[in-house]
Structure formats: C-alpha cells, structure tokens
C-alpha cells in the first residue's frame, strides 16, 4: 500500500451527519444543474410553440437514457469497487479499477454510438417518432447520441470515479460546468433571433457542454496525478480480467434499470402517440418536470455510494447504517414536498414550457398522476445504491428490474384499456410501490444490515 492520503480517510473522524452532507450536497447540486440544463432544452424549444419540435425531443429521450445506462455500468460499478478498495486500504487496486472502468467505458460508448447511427430511424420510430417528428428527432439525436454520446458517458463516468475518491465537490463542479455551459448555449443555438436551429440546436449545445465537462475532469486528473488514486494509464488494462467482472456485476443493476427505463419510456411514448401530437409533447414536458424529485434522489444516492461502500469495506457497520438512514430521510422529505407542489401548481408548471392550451391540459393531468410515484422512488434509489455499495448484486438487480421493464409494459396495456391515455400515467406509481416493497424485503433479510 502506498502512503498516499486519500480524501475518503478524512471521513473516518467526522460525525456521520457532516460526512453525509459533505458527500450528498455536492452530488445533489450537480444533479440539479443537470436537471436545469435538461429542462432548458425543453423550455427553449417550447418557446418556439411548435409541438412537433417538443415531441421530437421527447422521443429521443429513450435512446439518450441508454447513455446513462452505459455510464452507470462502468461508473457506478467502478465507483463502488474503488471505494471498497480504499476501505480495505488497497490504493494500488483502486488505481487499476479506475483505469479499467474508464477505458472499457470509453470503448463501449464508441460501439454503442456507432450502432445507433446505423439504426437511428427505426429505433426512433419504435420510440414514438411519427412522419412529422422523425426528421427533427434524427437531427437532435445525431448531436446528443451519436456525436456527443461518448462525452456524455465519460462525463458521468469520471464524475462517479472522482466522487468515489471522496472529492464530491470537484465531481459536482465538473458536471455543473457542463450544465451551465448548456444553459448559455441553448438560446443561442435554438431561438430564431439567434442561430434558429430549433431542436437540432439544443442537441449541439448538449454535445458541446458534455465535451467541456470531460475536458475539465481530465485536466483535473492530470494536475492531481501525484495526489489521486485515479490513474487512467492504459497499462492498468492488463488487470482487466481480475477486476472487470466485479465492476460489471455491481454496475449491471444500474445499467439494467436505465436500459429498461428506455423500454418503459419508449412504450409509454408509443401508447401516447396513438392519441395526439399535443399529448406526446405534454408527456415530454412532464418527464422533465418529474425529474426534479428524481434527480434529487439520484444525487443523494450518488453521494451516499462511496461513503456506504467505504464504511462497509472498513467494517464500520453503525456508520454505514446511520449514513443510509439520514440520506434516505432527506430524499423522502424532498419527494413529499415535490408531490404537494406539483399537485397544486401542475397547469402553471406546464405553461412554463409551452403556450399551447391542449398541451398544457394534457401535461397537468399527466403530472398529477405520475408524481405520486416520487415518495416510493425516493426510497428505492438509496436502497438499491446501498445494495450496490455492499456488493449485493441479486438484491439490487431484482429491485432495479422491478422498477423498470418487467411490469411496465403489461401494466401499460391494462391501464390504457381501463383508462384510455391517462391510465398510462398510473403505471409508474404502481411499479415503484412494488419495487420498494421488494427492496424492504431484501433489506430486512440481510444479516449484516
């Protein structure tokens, strides 16, 4: 073991409350910035008052989620393995894990984005693109998924690795830098008084902002190479056989959850596209709005992961349990506040994104139903991330699959038949409730919790 003092060791002497908030607050802040720039695409495109443009962004949301699935496969798996290595005081192992996660993630991103380019049109049609929206969706997807996809994946992956070392603030700044850049570029590229590129301009802005984020992270790692356990030198790839399996096993549940989210979101969009373009545009707006409590909970979970993995590996059972309870409580409190706000102000929130009466009417009805899933979801994410931090692959995988994919499509058929169009919006509260019950069952049965 080297004599390097890594930042995670500083948490050993801190009160749990302080340690949790030092990790969680920057992670939540970066997720909020990410949410804002995701909302910015829909907001500025909505200013065009063309439902077809907003609908085009909506149908690209599903393949864009696949980028998050890939980044989590290597980023969450790598972060958990790296933090546990630090908990065991094995810094050489942590270096090797970081490099393997990065380079395999980079290779997977190039393969995925190339494949999507060849299959873009049929994939987007499966996601609900119509003759009216397909050309716009193809232009937006070219920049967000094909050209900008590798940068999107590597930005999230590097943020996870840096956060796992205990540098949550640095990870947050890198993600936030990309988000703020996107906010500045969006109106310039989208609006007619500037470049006037519409949804395609939104894609260009997203691509450039993620490239900037990756450049920032790489420069940080170069500057701190003598004081960081994150070493991306390709020579560590010779140890892939030793660590890659564990990285993939731990990251797989997160990747599966996002991959199945693609299926579930695409299926929901497909059902809604049977009705009107305004309904599809409304669904796109609602999927942005309900990301506020979702991204908050993801931020809490991301911040907790290194702390939980480190304390688990170090044998600090009570610290891990206390950190989990505090993080889950914060996540739930925010979700409950969001439910109250969204139920009361649904039409006004929808009107922020588009000035079209029919779209606003649909969006308000959708939001008031879908937001009821948030309290269950706010507990599911911390529980799943705790299973991953502890290396409990089966529990995290089962809960992830229940949240997205297995139950969604059968329930969509059932609920749409019972309550045309609006029945689809009840599916997420139902599946999140089932997933939470399963997570609680796994949690109660674990002897070391």
Quick one: how far is CA 10 from the chain centroid? 28
Q: Which tens digit of pLDDT belongs to each residue from 93-131?
A: 999 999 999 999 999 999 999 999 999 999 998 877 888
Measured between alpha carbons, how far is 157 from 175 in angstroms, rounded to an integer? 11
Angstrom CA distances, 48 to 199, 288, 298, 353, 442, stand at: 10, 17, 31, 10, 48
The residue with tokens 């070219």 is 142
What tokens were used for 184? 């500045």
Tens of pLDDT, residue by residue, the chain (449 residues): 344 556 666 666 778 898 899 889 888 988 888 777 777 787 888 888 888 888 888 788 778 878 988 998 999 999 999 999 988 888 899 999 999 999 999 999 999 999 999 999 999 988 778 888 899 999 999 999 999 999 999 999 999 999 988 888 899 899 889 989 999 999 999 999 889 899 999 999 999 999 999 999 999 999 988 888 898 999 999 999 999 999 999 888 888 877 777 777 778 877 888 888 888 888 888 887 888 898 899 899 988 998 899 889 888 888 899 999 999 999 999 999 999 999 999 999 988 888 888 889 999 999 999 999 999 999 998 999 899 888 888 888 888 888 776 788 899 889 988 988 888 899 989 999 999 999 999 988 875 55
380 contact partners, CB below 8 Å, separation of at least 6: 399, 403, 432, 435, 436, 439
Please answer whether residues 399 and 438 qualify as being in contact, where contact means their C-beta atoms are separated by less than 8 angstroms: yes
- Model confidence over 137-176: pLDDT tens digits? 999 999 999 999 999 999 999 999 999 888 888 998 998 8
Residue 13 CA: distances (Å) to CA of 1, 16, 17, 65, 400: 21, 9, 12, 38, 34
Q: How far apart are CA 117 and CA 125, in angstroms?
A: 14
DSSP structure string for 281-298: HHHHHHHHHTHHHHHHHH
Q: Which residues contact 30 (CB under 8 A, 6 or more apart)?
A: 159, 171, 172, 173, 174, 175, 176, 179, 299
pLDDT digits (tens, 9 = 90+) for 46-81: 888 888 888 888 788 778 878 988 998 999 999 999
Q: How far apart, in whole angstroms, are the C-alpha atoms of residue 53 and residue 62?
A: 16
pLDDT of residue 220: 94
Residue linked to tokens 């967000």: 144
């Amino acid at each position: 073991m080297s004599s390097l003092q890594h930042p995670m060791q500083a948490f050993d002497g801190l009160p749990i409350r302080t340690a949790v908030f030092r990790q969680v607050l920057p992670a939540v802040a970066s997720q909020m910035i990410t949410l804002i720039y995701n909302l910015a695409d829909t907001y500025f495109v909505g200013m065009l008052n063309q439902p077809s443009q907003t609908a085009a962004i909506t149908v690209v949301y599903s393949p864009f989620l696949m980028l998050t699935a890939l980044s989590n496969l290597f980023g969450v798996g790598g972060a958990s393995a790296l933090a546990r290595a630090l908990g065991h005081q094995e810094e050489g192992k942590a270096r090797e894990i970081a490099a393997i996660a990065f380079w395999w993630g980079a290779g997977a991103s190039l393969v995925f984005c190339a494949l999507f380019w060849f299959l873009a049109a049929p994939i987007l049609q499966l996601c609900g693109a119509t003759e009216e929206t397909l050309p716009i969706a193809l232009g937006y997807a070219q920049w967000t998924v094909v050209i900008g996809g590798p940068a999107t994946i590597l930005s999230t992956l590097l943020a996870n690795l840096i956060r796992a070392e205990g540098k949550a603030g640095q990870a947050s700044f890198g993600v936030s830098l990309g988000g703020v850049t996107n906010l500045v570029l969006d109106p310039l590229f989208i609006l007619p008084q500037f470049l006037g590129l519409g949804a395609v301009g939104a894609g260009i802005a997203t691509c450039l902002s993620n490239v900037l984020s990756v450049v920032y992270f790489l420069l940080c790692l170069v500057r701190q190479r003598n004081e960081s356990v994150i070493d991306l030198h390709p020579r560590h790839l010779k140890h892939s056989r030793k660590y890659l399996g564990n990285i993939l096993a731990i990251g797989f549940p997160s990747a599966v959850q996002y991959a199945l989210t693609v299926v579930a979101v695409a299926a929901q969009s497909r059902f809604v596209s049977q009705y009107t373009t305004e309904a599809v545009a409304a669904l796109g707006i609602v999927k942005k709005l309900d990301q506020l409590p979702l991204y908050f909970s993801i931020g809490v979970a991301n911040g907790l992961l290194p702390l939980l993995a480190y304390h688990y590996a170090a044998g600090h059972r009570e610290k891990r349990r206390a950190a989990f309870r505090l993080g889950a409580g914060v996540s739930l409190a925010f979700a409950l506040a969001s439910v109250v706000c969204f139920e009361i102000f649904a039409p006004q929130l929808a009107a922020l994104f588009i000035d079209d009466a029919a779209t606003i009417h649909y969006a308000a009805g959708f939001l008031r139903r879908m937001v009821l899933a948030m309290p269950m979801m706010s507990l599911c994410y911390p529980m799943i991330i705790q299973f991953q931090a502890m290396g409990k692959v089966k529990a995290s995988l089962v809960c992830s699959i229940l949240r997205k994919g297995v139950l969604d499509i059968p329930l969509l058929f059932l609920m749409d038949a019972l309550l045309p169009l609006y029945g689809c919006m009840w599916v997420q509260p139902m599946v999140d409730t089932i997933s939470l019950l399963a997570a609680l069952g796994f949690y109660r049965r674990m002897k070391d919790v």
